[in-house]
Structure 1
């Protein structure tokens, strides 16, 4: 039976100083050494609309962990907004930030001997960075994202009503045929709420893929940031991490560990979903990095093989389906990622011999 990792800092006469510091940080003395320490990796920042609402999310998750019998220890990592960083030298910092995020999560968890991990992510490089860290650490882990933004809607000068997302604001701004007044209306309405940009861009693609890999709960990728159901998702993620923590440390069930969830077959499922939902091409870069951290031999040849047998089933923005554009709220109304996985399952394109942190099967 594996011992709690936190015993390193909670047990023994020589750890009196560490325990004193835990008491000073708010941990009740009676809990030290008796309850598992759950690291809560948050990524709140006021720079990124996909992360501006995550400060209270950390509290919701932490409170639910406490109620379920754990000791939550929240910390923060960085988050770069690719949209704001785009078009100037700031973009040079975006991809490297992924690896900094992975390292920062690893450092905090290892330095403080946390027993398990909840990753509160959302945007482009944050989910991949945390995924790399989780697979590197290989302790009980659950992902929960901040959720997608609502799509925008603008009434132009001529009375035309347009649905919008971030790409519209970017592309229309360089179109000389669109007036300055219309550009302003588009700018004011393209990103109407908090959350990750409303199309199937990198952020939402990666949050959906964590469902297929098995490290997040159903709805992680599609429940809107502003939807009341997302609060319950935060609570459920906290309860799930406590469940798998007990299964590992009290029942010696190592099937809950990230590397035993994110197997080769799980990566195949993630890639199948990626193609079926028309995900961002950036996911290739991140899935390859995650697979390397997991020790899974999943490379370009495997991606090519999956792409040759799986069709694209959903055209979500920035793709256009016939005469209209669909957004993440439409994906959720249609059943979300479970619906797409169900289509793949019925077509014999989903590996069934996999499991998730919340279920013995994805099927």
Structure 2
């Protein structure tokens, strides 16, 4: 079952209050300045919403997958950039939860649970986006560790996060079986960061290159066995892309909320906009598609929690469908607000810009369709 229970709804109410009081008021300014929303992050930490998925044994609150989705959804309803705090913390730490040693978990997860550090995921490279097996970053054995050289690109919250799950080639020529995962710290000698990318949306969440030059890490920081990095990355994405579905869902819901308020206040030709049947049809379609995306996302979250065999299909479907809905709904919201929707006086133009990335990162929607088709054909 995936129906939210009373605890889930109480959590939703609590997150919504934090977002109303702290996150939403900072969203437009953070986007305008392209600055990390520190005040919003501090509010999430104070409410234990920054990494709710972490188990209690590591100092976390132990939220299940559905609860984590609700947190991300409600934050994204106010600010998509801020929603990347719990989303990326989950993305960065899932490899440790899935394949890391207990010693590695005990070392790196408690600081994240306490809000003392954030954890990013460093997989993509300048010439390896969807084609993950083509990464070139190398990790060469040296003494009791590995020396890493390479460049990672499109790394969310890079420069803000203290820890990074990083993927590198340890066995050249072995393809995906030659990739291993490591934990790298921002303060490891040889780690550097490029300038923030100038982006269309999620401007308050920094996206930077991570440069690695002769970075020596101990062998104890390898996540899982040598050569298991690609499999760990794919398993991680099966779980984490559901939070992107939740982010897209929240963006869409926020846009619909603003559109509903506007059409009930604005009058033209002596009538409220909400009284025009053509606009009512637009609103109905927006609400219908959002609710369909919500049900699919929550179902995928439940499958993630149980580890169901069809999780790859449902995770890909939720991310693909919810992000497509977010792009459509936010575009319609701008249309419903007319000229005002095209200005920064209202948040729907920001939401439209933010929605676009949900169709691209954590696997483009074309890749999601490949994932879905492969699982359908394997039955």
TM-score by length of 1: 0.30
User: As a proportion of its length, which structure holds more strand?
Assistant: 2
User: As a proportion of its length, which structure holds more helix?
Assistant: 2
TM-score by length of 2: 0.29
